[in-house]
């Protein structure tokens, strides 16, 4: 099993200070992904590859027990990962 890391740059997870920008969660290819604070600042397009809520358009999604839950509006849907999307994700992240 791989240790959690940033979906964009592969940086291993760490706990930022309480006043610092926190890691962001999102969903890509039906899977939960993490975006590090540095990528959120350095990459203005960091949200582009993330799935959006069908109800409100937010990227603030989490996968819990096979369900995708929007943390902005509470909408729930099933997590579906297409094999080709996962292959692209693995290639993109270098995993």
Tell me the per-residue pLDDT of 11-60, one tens digit each, with 9 for 90 and over. 999 999 999 999 999 999 999 999 999 999 999 999 999 999 999 999 99
CA distance 16 to 94: 24
2: pLDDT confidence band, cut at 50, 70 and 90?
confident
> Would residue 9 count as lying in a domain?
no
> How many domains does one find in the chain?
1
What was the pLDDT predicted at 58?
Answer: 97
CB of 37 closer than 8 Å to CB of 20: yes
Residue 72: domain span:
24-93
Rg (CA), the chain: 13
> Would residue 13 count as lying in a domain?
no
> Would residue 72 count as lying in a domain?
yes
> Would residue 15 count as lying in a domain?
no
CB of 51 closer than 8 Å to CB of 73: no
Q: Is 34 helix (H, G, I), strand (E, B) or coil?
A: strand
> Would residue 87 count as lying in a domain?
yes
CA distance 38 to 88: 23
């Amino acid at each position: 099993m791989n240790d959690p890391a940033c979906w964009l740059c592969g940086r291993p997870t760490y706990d930022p200070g309480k006043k610092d920008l926190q890691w962001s969660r999102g969903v890509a290819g039906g899977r939960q992904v993490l975006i590090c604070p540095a990528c959120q600042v350095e990459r203005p397009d960091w949200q582009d590859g993330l799935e959006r809520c069908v109800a409100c358009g937010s990227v603030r999604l989490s996968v819990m027990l096979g369900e995708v839950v929007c943390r902005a509006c509470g909408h729930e849907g099933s997590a579906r990962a297409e094999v080709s999307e996962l292959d692209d994700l693995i290639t993109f992240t270098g995993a």
